[in-house]
Amino acid sequence: MGALGDVGLKRARMEVQKPMGVSWLSLKRRSGAQAALDPTRDNLRFMKVDADSTTLPDSAAAVVRLFGVMEDGTSILVRARGFHPYLFIQQPHWMSKVPNQVELERFRAELERKVQHLPRATGGGPVIVQIEHVLRRSIMYFIPGDPMIAFFKITVALPRHVRDVAGIIERGVDLDSGPLGRKTWEVTVDFVLRFLIDREIVGCGWVEIPANTYTLVAAAKTSAMQIEVDVQFHNIVAHKPEGEWLKIAPLRRLSFDIECAGRKGVFPEPEHDSVIQIANYVTLYGSTSEDPLLTKCVFTLNTCAPIADANVYSFDTERELLTEWASFLRAVDPEILTGYNIVNFDLPYLLDRARILGVSSFPYLGRIPSSITTMRNTQMSSSAFGTHESKEFTMEGRVVMDMLQVITRDYKLRSYSLNSVSAEFLGEQKEDVHHSIISDLQAGNEQTRRRLAVYCLKDAVLPQRLMDKLMSLTNYMEMSRVSGIPLGWLFARGHMIKVVSLLHRRAQDEMFLIPDLPRSNATGDGPQFEGATVIEPNRGFYTDPIATLDFASLYPSIIMAHNLCYSTLILPDDVQRLRVEDYTTTPAGHHFVRKEVKKGILSNILEGLLAARKKAKADLKAEKDPFRRGILDGRQLALKISANAVYGFTGATVGKLCCMEISASTTAYGREMIEKTKASVESLFSGSEVIYGDTDSVMIKFGSGKSLEECMGLGAEAAEKISNLFPKPVRLEFEKCYWPYLLISKKRYAGLYWTKTETYDKMDTKGIESVRRDNCKLVASVISKVLEMLLMDRDLDLAIRFVKQTISDLLQNKIDLSLLVVSKALTKAGDKYDAKQAHVVLAEKMRARNPGTAPSLGDRVPYVITKGAKNSAAYERAEDPLFCLEHSIPIDNAYYLENMLRKPLERIFEPIMTNVATLFSGDHTRTINVGTPRNGGIMKFAKVSITCLGCRSPIKAGALCQFCSPKEAEFYLKHLAATTSLEKQYSSLWTECQRCMGDICQDVLCSNSDCPIFYRRKRVQKELDETTKKLDRFHIDW
């Protein structure tokens, strides 16, 4: 085990147990922060990072714990005491209109007897702590006269009592004085969220505790935080995230990656395979005064050669490695734990492996030393992302931010491998070592283990680089501030919790209560309503500028303009009790009161969000500091996303407050507005035509021969005139023109995007360049090039010639194999699929050939479609691209043309050409027939003979036949030139791969099939071997 030197971390924290005798003192934050604090003089100000609740031995009630960081980086835990959970029921009709304290206490005592069997708090106090008479309104439905209703606020001892008491009430309770109603309000509000709402604390918000209101916890500290205090909850003051309080405290981020010793043909399993390396990359975020890099290190099993820019710590046993890594994490004490796929692989693997090895000190990875880190399976559903499974960890005070989940949620990409994502956003590839050869590197020497460590380190560094490049942490922190929920909830819980928080916060301000509605449509198969309007496209290639008008925040503005809300919805039986001028009937047939009578809570929420976004954008424009600009940009984006999420929340049938009347009315108004916009444009502007419209935008052709400048002026004029036809805040905006514009079909178009007349901004496409990975890269490459030629070069003939040449190259085997590879994940065993899948059949075929190198569950399986028997299915002809290269198996190029290229090309050229079929017929479609290798039948007995390298006639030995021998020098030089050319190509590709892996002295082991160089290098290597063998046949002795 190597001795550890000073790795340059700036701060120190409380002592950590070091079972192996290793000192991590240099890793910790500074000590003595609590000793320097004077509770009688010093206010405490900190940014809240995480929050949870617990029950302490000395407390009869739950305690809310706020984990935070002070402005100087000091960590702090605040234990807020005295806050109790509560629920509401409607006041029983048999009680006095305004019951006195005696009546309330009698009611409390009677209800207490009904719940006396429930578990008690410490000290055996009552379950029902207090009952208060309050006046509130239910958020559901507008009642004529808008009366306040009498409710009982039932305060209970512990968070678990809320659901227990509610369950008893909902099943029916008869007290001595009379029966209770069975309906409850606000039972499902999480206890921590309830506390944050009541104290107006938002996620990642700044909190202050005045001097003389808190007590330092010294002897009985329960956490690893530098400062720990007790405070009564009402003394906590929250600062709104505005102005000075937009700042971000210095946060420690630990990004890590593990490597496991896999077995041949089997993906690593914690029951059998060791953890052999853990790479770590620790930085400071949110502080501009210090070097952000704190340490970069790797823990290795067995010796490892030094690495120039990292510390290497080697251990003799896996138990030591895991023990010391856990100590390292506790010493670094990060607020943010990140990596790539750590939620579903690295963290579960480490926890399982430590359990199997009996490393009892390992699973204490949170900031409460006595609390074991546990994990549980979770499932999240949404219309945008479908249903997916994940895991949630109890790691108090830390936020687990898996960059794979972040990027999968926020970006639509062809591939989500770390390699592909890095190439997309960082513009660089990385070496990809397949798990099947990791054990060989580990079993080698310190140099091979160093190579593995360099690879592991890069996988730890890249997630943080992606986080910084994409501003992911900043954006999610601002979303946490906007929605009000803790940062970690954004990753571990569903999307609806954000709107739930906004709704409860506003409801409390306006004295509304939210009922607990049954989730009757938990599968999402509830009532459906008609979606948005799509105006039938007038397909074609437009060389005149096309103006585009967009409704700004369409659905939020409809909700505000027409006062659509739970609180303004009128029950059918109540409509007759209102004056006609007091309500509107939506195009969907539902009734809502006008804002003059009662303004809806959703309108107020949306107005607040959009006003805050307007301010953030104005501040962004004026701000000069790059870091604050990033915060403001993340804030305006979070406000926009939150406003748009409100509509989706009302229509989510799997949600807790679904209201189809609001959703259906919103889309009905949207359809009406698109149709009205089309009619108005064509009426107000002579010769104009709306050629397409989709949900919240219309595309307009203002006649023929108009210049771009004229079109932009008319677009701005049309937006202003038509906006006046709709109620505020509905507003049409003109932002762009497309010129030229290719309109293919509904939701499929492309054009050059102009916002100013000097030059276009970009080429914009929708629905054309698919990101689906079941298409090969050739499709995206060809479509992109064709669109460039049509839109940028404006040359149809050039595009046609390019397509014909590409088809010719494809049919003559001149297309690089990497462009023909399709890649799919092997997510389950072959017999679990409903139908035969190409990648599954191929995986089984490869397993039969060589179990050691065959794909395992979780791997991506690259394949190509090869030639085969007539009428054979495509899945039967799927083959490993490397196997095809090594055995010269011909590709079925006609399959790629007919099944992958043809339809996308037809869609693009049909609006432009009169006869698209000419693209796929003619001289350019001649093929080179490559015979399919036959290894069975009579071919088993066939003997391959050598042929003359000049005329290809059979010969017994040598390079040339007797007729070509006189030209031996000419043929030799020809093959020598070919060999030299291939050597140069191979050397160039090899060097590029070495640079990618960061070592020009090591062999290339990369198996990154997403990289185009991978197959090119393999192809050139095979061709070089063949030409070298031919050259050797000349037997020239220099």
DSSP string, 890-912: PB-HHHHIIIIIHHHHHHHHTTT
pLDDT at residue number 525: 44
**Which of 310, 266, 263 lies closest to 453, judged by CA?**
310
Alpha carbon 55 to chain centroid, angstroms? 34
Cis peptide before 729 (omega within 30 of 0): yes
Rounded Cα–Cα distance for residues 296 and 311 (Å):
6
Supply angle C-alpha 282, 288, 290, rounded to 5.
55
For the stretch 1027-1036, what's the b/e string if a residue is b when 16 or more beta carbons lie within 10 angstroms of its beta carbon? beebbebbee
Strand order in the sheet with 128-138: 184-185, 86-90, 149-156, 128-138, 512-513
**Which of 286, 207, 252 lies closest to 474, judged by CA?**
286
Judge whether 192 and 159 are in contact, CB under 8 Å: no
pLDDT at residue number 334: 96
982 pLDDT exceeds 90? no
Please state, for a pLDDT cut of 70, what percent of the chain lies above it.
86
pLDDT at residue number 522: 38
Q: What is the DSSP letter of 211?
A: T
Judge whether 207 and 48 are in contact, CB under 8 Å: yes
266 pLDDT exceeds 90? no
What φ, ψ does residue 393 adopt, rounded to 5°? Answer: -110, 145
Q: How much is the mean pLDDT over the chain?
A: 85
Cis peptide before 92 (omega within 30 of 0): no
Of 408-422, 785-799, 920-934, the poorest mean pLDDT is in 920-934
pLDDT at residue number 653: 67
Q: What is the mean pLDDT of residues 733-741?
A: 92
**Which of 333, 332, 322, 269 lies closest to 300, judged by CA?**
322
The two structure tokens encoding residue 650? 């009302």
The two structure tokens encoding residue 941? 């007995």
pLDDT, one tens digit per residue, over 540-560 is: 899 999 999 999 889 999 999
Helix locations, 579-625, DSSP H: 601-622
Residue 60: count other Cβ atoms within 10 Å of its Cβ: 16
pLDDT, one tens digit per residue, over 817-846 is: 888 988 887 776 655 666 788 888 888 888
The two structure tokens encoding residue 33? 């922060």
Any residues with CB less than 8 A from the CB of 286 and at least 6 apart, and which?
247, 248, 249, 250, 251
pLDDT at residue number 117: 76
**Which of 243, 235, 253 lies closest to 205, judged by CA?**
243
Alpha carbon 792 to chain centroid, angstroms? 33
Residue 998 binned pLDDT confidence (cut-offs 50, 70, 90): low
931 pLDDT exceeds 80? no
Q: What is the mean pLDDT of residues 87-110?
A: 88
pLDDT, one tens digit per residue, over 10-38 is: 333 323 233 344 555 556 665 556 667 88
pLDDT, one tens digit per residue, over 304-320 is: 999 988 999 999 999 99
pLDDT at residue number 122: 53
Judge whether 302 and 380 are in contact, CB under 8 Å: no
pLDDT at residue number 1016: 77
Rounded Cα–Cα distance for residues 1037 and 978 (Å):
19
pLDDT at residue number 21: 44
**Which of 574, 575, 576, 531 lies closest to 554, judged by CA?**
531
Of 361-370, 477-486, 1017-1026, the poorest mean pLDDT is in 1017-1026
pLDDT at residue number 10: 34
pLDDT at residue number 1006: 60
Identity at 534, one-letter amino acid code: V
Q: Best-predicted range by mean pLDDT among 106-120, 122-136, 443-457?
A: 443-457
Judge whether 89 and 152 are in contact, CB under 8 Å: yes
Q: Which residue has the tokens 């030094």?
A: 306
pLDDT, one tens digit per residue, over 174-206 is: 877 778 888 999 999 999 999 999 999 999 999
Rounded Cα–Cα distance for residues 565 and 659 (Å):
9
pLDDT, one tens digit per residue, over 619-657 is: 888 888 887 888 888 888 888 888 888 988 888 766 678
Q: What is the mean pLDDT of residues 67-87?
A: 95
Beta strand pairing call for 591-593 and 748-754: unpaired
Neighbouring-strand partners of residue 333: none
* One-character DSSP codes across 528-570: ------EEPP--EEE-S-EEEEEETTHHHHHHHHTT--TTTB-
pLDDT at residue number 995: 66
pLDDT at residue number 4: 37
pLDDT at residue number 448: 86
98 pLDDT exceeds 80? yes
Taking each helix axis from N to C end, the angle separating 496-509 and 626-650, rounded to the nearest 10 degrees, works out to 90
Judge whether 839 and 773 are in contact, CB under 8 Å: no
Judge whether 598 and 568 are in contact, CB under 8 Å: yes
Residue 6: count other Cβ atoms within 10 Å of its Cβ: 11
Rounded Cα–Cα distance for residues 225 and 206 (Å):
18
CA atoms within 13 A on the CB side of 338: 30
298 pLDDT exceeds 90? yes
Q: What global pTM score does this model have?
A: 0.85
pLDDT, one tens digit per residue, over 426-477 is: 988 776 676 667 888 888 899 889 989 998 999 999 999 999 999 999 999 9
Rounded Cα–Cα distance for residues 53 and 78 (Å):
11
Rounded Cα–Cα distance for residues 561 and 555 (Å):
10
Supply angle C-alpha 561, 564, 565, rounded to 5.
140
Domains of the chain and any CATH numbers: 42-249 (2.40.50.730), 251-470 (3.30.420.10), 517-766 (3.90.1600.10), 777-925 (1.10.132.60), 946-1032 (no CATH)
Identity at 581, one-letter amino acid code: E
How far the first Cα of the chain sits from its last, in Å, is 55
* One-character DSSP codes across 846-894: HHHH-TTTS--TT-EEEEEEB--STT--GGGGEE-HHHHHHHTPPB-HH
353 pLDDT exceeds 90? yes
Residue 1020 binned pLDDT confidence (cut-offs 50, 70, 90): confident
Any residues with CB less than 8 A from the CB of 961 and at least 6 apart, and which?
948, 950, 951, 953, 955
Any residues with CB less than 8 A from the CB of 788 and at least 6 apart, and which?
763
